[in-house]
Chains A and B, each alone.
Chain A
Amino acid sequence: MPAVSKGDGMRGLAVFISDIRNCKSKEAEIKRINKELANIRSKFKGDKALDGYSKKKYVCKLLFIFLLGHDIDFGHMEAVNLLSSNKYTEKQIGYLFISVLVNSNSELIRLINNAIKNDLSSRNPTFMCLALHCIANVGSREMAEAFASEIPRILVAGDTMDSVKQSAALCLLRLYKTSPDLVLMGEWTSRVVHLLNDQHMGVVTAAISLITCLSQKNPDEFKTCVSLAVSRLSRIVSSASTDLQDYTYYFVPAPWLSCKLLRLLQCYPPPEDGAVKGRLVECLETILNKAQEPPKSKKVQHSNAKNAILFEAIALIIHYDSEPNLLVRACNQLGQFLQHRETNLRYLALESMCTLASSEFSHEAVKTHIETVINALKTERDVSVRQRAADLLYAMCDRSNAKQIVAEMLSYLETADYSIREEMVLKVAILAEKYAVDYSWYVDTILNLIRIAGDYVSEEVWYRVIQIVINRDDVQGYAAKTVFEALQAPACHENMVKVGGYILGEFGNLIAGDPRSSPLVQFNLLHSKFHLCSVPTRALLLSAYIKFINLFPETKATIQEVLRCDSQIRNSDVELQQRAVEYLKLSSIASTDVLATVLEEMPPFPERESSILAKLKKKKGPGAVSVTEMEDGKREGGELNGGGDRGPDASAMAASNASTPSPSADLLGIRPAAPVSAAPASVGSLLVDVFSEAGPAASSAAVNDEGFLSSAPPSEDPAPPLSEADELLNKFVCKNNGVLFENQLLQIGIKSEYRQNLGRMYLFYGNKTSVQFASFTTTVSYPGELQSQLNVQSKPVEPLVEGGAQIQQVLNIECLTDFSEAPLLNIKFRYGGALQNLTLKLPVTINKFFQPTEMASQDFFQRWKQLSQPQQEAQKIFKANNSMDTEVLKAKLLGLGMALLDNVDPNPENYVCAGVIQTKGQQVGCLLRLEPNAQAQMYRLTLRCSKDSVSRRLCELLAEQF
């Protein structure tokens, strides 16, 4: 077949194109183009009416010129004329011109819309498709206004040709994306969902893109698509490689449709219907199995299409995050790909594992690949792959491997590509801060960072290290010593001088005892760098000098001399001059006391979200950050950098009204890292939300209204059956102390306290008789899954309990993950030879691990909306069992451990609470709303938690309390 003049070739066009190609220079090309433009213009303006063919040819030439990158300011009218031609190819060129050169000239748009309208109503499928393409290509507001109501009709009309349906579906999608307000949902929406069942694979393929987009925006309205998608997927997955004829791509049945179906399912939680879910799990297993089968073709197209489906299936498995079996299989599959000889697969496996790393089921499994990933970072030839490896290391980092990962990333930085250095620096800084147990390690890491990649260390990073050193007095001496040593290097980065100047200015006194770092040595060292630095750094150094005068009066004369010299006091830079003059004056007229006050050590910085993290988020989309930060990212507001960006400058030094940060506040403000004994944090003024550091522990809020081991009336029954244990349990949901059990022989009292995910429970066994209890033993057991969710450690008790005596037992409790069952306490003893055996439920419930969270009304409703997936919510309407008195309710809600928020709910009768459940593995943000109806003596209780099982459990527990 000839290359030129295929179909309706236009000779004139071909000649023009080859002329352009033969042009030796840009000037020659422009000359030729101008000649052609003049020619076309004269033809268009000429007296003789042009025939369709010529018009088409000239419009096509104009299009070519435009695509070469030249401006076209005429010919639009001729193109619009072509739209109403009755020759297909003329019409086609007209539409192409309009699609490429959209013009907002409203006059023209009206004409174009008219032509489109004619073609849409022509009932000629080819013309209809051309018109739909034009709408989709232009996608302007005017077109949406004209056609948004017409296209759904075409899409669902019974007599529409398949090819037109396909175009209509995607055309509507485009309009929905550009002008969602103009595409109104209606009767057509339910019929669109049923296109998933269409006989024609092409129609399904096109329609599913539309359905996916609509489902994302209106999940409830399109819910029915889940079961339809599952059954369609199952039919494709189980079909033989030739069943689908032309929709089989290199022996893979319908890869595009399969991937689209798997994407659609990712808009929804796992199917609730057991049969549908079973079928879907089967599909996912089949897809995973197929990955292990020998390929049906050696062509790369075959393996790409097959693996595309596999990756999409894995994405769905990760999205559900509820099938540990599938997650582990997915992780193993990706592990295989990590070592694959295809670079593309290694790249994708690293990318996909990044998301897998944030799943609690597979985080550990991902971690087992650490050596492979580190190796990839070191040896991959492709920078894209290395970047993914760095992302994955960042995502899989936790306290257990932080030192190794940070060390590897630091050593990679020395040779890293310039394009990714800044991001790497931020990531190292964040990891070092987040997982610092030992702050000297943190300081070392950041100083290394400055040494290795000083140019890429942004202000946020070095501000941050200073904030942390200021706020932690245990590391200040070490920091001073380390920067002092780092500054000894003959060539050190200016950022190092900044950090050094600041830290020595604040804490130089901590190392001044050593003659090798005496005040004068420190000063001379800093001043030796002064002349090589930029103005801002010099300004910072001048501030450090004046601080030196306060710290070390013996340096006063030397420093005053420096300030007094012309290069300072007459510096052409106003800021430097002003500082030199003012500091000189200050040092000579102020008394020591005044100096000491003015130049006092910087107050601690208020703890906020790390400004570095904010910067990383700004740099990259949310895809690159791990799950904790994703949660954290939800609170990105205007104030993120409030405290963090406060540069450590002289003006900032003077500002000393900072609030005192809590010693337990985490560096990043993400999760409390402090030990159980930490003092309660004062965070009232800070930006707090469900996921952040919470206030004082809840335990003290529960008021013990029963005297400890008071003599409650003895129970009639000798030994309580287990069924009563539930009631006993419910008694303790909102309080921590009291009598757990009592009969004629024995009374058991408890006292408990909880901090974060840990708790301690004191059990007091009182022998009410005058006879000794023998062989007294207690055992804690875990029903169901509780073994893996809760850890209770107890010391054995004395086997003998004398008559009238009381013995004490301490239980240490650790919440590993959320749980629903209560641990069982079995007590056995011999009383006068008879074996007593009773089993109780220990009142350890999930709400004990709450940390209250204060938040403003606006924040509350924003979180409330974010937790809007149906399974995240649990609701119960129930009759009041107790008094509906406000004070009683408030006390109970406080005892629950959440923060009771005032002025949040528009209805003052309602109660809203917020808190975070702390478990070892994760934090679960919870919001509660209780709506009493005093008239009906009813309550409506709603819980929304970031984890659905928690919503359900809390709802069950609380429904019994009111």
Chain B
Amino acid sequence: MIHFLLLFSRQGKLRLQKWFTPLSELEKKKVIRDMTLMVLARPPRTSNFLQWRDLKIVYKRYASLYFCTGLEEKDNELLALEMIHRYVELLDKYFGNVCELDIIFNFEKAYFILDEFLMGGEILETSKFAVGGSVEEADTLQETMEEYMSKPAY
């Protein structure tokens, strides 16, 4: 199970935080601080894995943004790397050539896309088609409930 996913910039600015286990705000701040310090201090061309307390930390840098996730002992690190990659692909598909600014200005969308992909720290749907589909669909759902309900079910 994934415990958290953090997105932060090379300057250590937090861009997105998703927690799958209940933590107090203070604990969250501590995790964020430790993660940014540890990950940003890593020299280039090292592995993507770290051990932190009893969690496995898997991180990867995409352009100016670090994606960093905390896993349980039994979780698969390589798959977590690909989970991050799939999320980046989903963001890219939605925003088109996604960059850090997209996530800053449309943070709520970044959360929605993540929600379609992960739930309770587990993979909800791996198909790019299925995840992207429902987020796009939500965008077109500007009409009222009545209009929506009168449409044929999909």
Chain A interface residues (CB < 8 Å from chain B):
1, 3-4, 6-9, 14, 17-18, 21, 60, 63-64, 67, 69, 86-89, 92-93, 96, 100, 124, 126, 129, 132-133, 136-137, 139, 163, 166-167, 170-171, 173-174, 177-178, 201-202, 205-206, 209, 246-247, 249, 254-257, 259-260, 263, 266, 301, 304-305, 307-308, 311-312, 343-344, 346-348, 381-385, 387, 620-621, 623
Contacts and interface: CB of A to CB of B under 8 A. Distances in A.
B62 interface: no
Interface in B103-124: 104-109, 111-112, 115, 119-124
B151 to A, nearest CB: 11
Interface in B37-90: 43, 45-51, 54, 73-74, 76-79, 81-83, 85-86
B112 A92 contact: yes
Contact of B105 (A17, A136, A305, A311): A17
B11 interface: no
A136 B78 contact: no
Contacts of A347: 47, 49
Closest 8 CB pairs of A and B: A86-B145, A7-B139, A88-B141, A174-B120, A308-B78, A382-B46, A209-B122, A170-B119
10 contacts: A6-B139, A7-B138, A67-B14, A87-B141, A87-B142, A93-B108, A124-B148, A206-B119, A209-B120, A312-B76
A64 B138 CA distance: 21
Contacts of A60: 108
Q: Interface of chain A, helix or strand or loop or mixed?
A: helix
Given A6-B139, A133-B115, 4 more contacts: A202-B124, A249-B86, A343-B45, A385-B47
Contacts of B85: 301
Given A3-B101, A87-B144, A344-B77, A126 B134 contact: yes
Nearest to A348: B77
Contact of A126 (B76, B123, B141): B141
A67 B17 contact: yes
Contacts of A266: 74
A255 B126 CA distance: 9
Interface of B: 1, 14, 17, 22, 29, 43, 45-51, 54, 73-74, 76-79, 81-83, 85-86, 94-96, 99, 101-102, 104-109, 111-112, 115, 119-130, 134, 137-139, 141-142, 144-146, 148-149
A6 B130 contact: no
B74 A263 contact: yes
A246 B139 contact: no
A643 to B, nearest CB: 28
B81 A304 contact: yes
Nearest to B123: A256
B91 to A, nearest CB: 11
A174 B149 CA distance: 30
Given A87-B142, A136-B120, A167-B119, A96 B108 contact: yes
Nearest to A95: B115
Nearest to A135: B120
A139 B79 contact: no
A96 B77 contact: no
Contacts of A305: 78-79, 82
Contact of A67 (B49, B105, B107): B107
Contacts of B14: 67, 69
Contact of A382 (B47, B79, B119, B130): B47
A572 B95 CA distance: 71
A170 B106 contact: no
Nearest to B75: A263
Contact of B120 (A139, A263, A620): A139
Contacts of A163: 125, 130, 134
B79 A256 contact: yes
A136 B114 CA distance: 13
B124 A166 contact: yes
Nearest to A8: B142
B75 to A, nearest CB: 9
Given A67-B17, A89-B142, A384-B47, A259 B125 contact: no
Given A4-B105, A202-B127, A382-B47, A126 B78 contact: no
Contacts of B144: 86-87
B4 to A, nearest CB: 13
A344 B45 CA distance: 10
B122 A173 contact: yes
Contact of A246 (B94, B109, B130): B130
Contact of B48 (A1, A167, A256, A344): A344
Contacts of B47: 343-344, 346-347, 382, 384-385
Given A3-B105, A124-B148, A343-B47, A311 B120 contact: no
B79 A173 contact: no
B1 to A, nearest CB: 8
Contacts of A67: 14, 17, 107
Contact of A3 (B102, B137, B139): B102
Contacts of B112: 92, 96
A139 B48 CA distance: 31
Contacts of B29: 69
Contacts of B145: 86-87
A265 to B, nearest CB: 13
B76 A381 contact: no
A201 B104 contact: no
Given A6-B95, A343-B45, A381-B43, A311 B123 contact: no
B88 to A, nearest CB: 11
Q: Which of B51, B112, B141 has most chain A Cβ within 10 Å?
A: B51
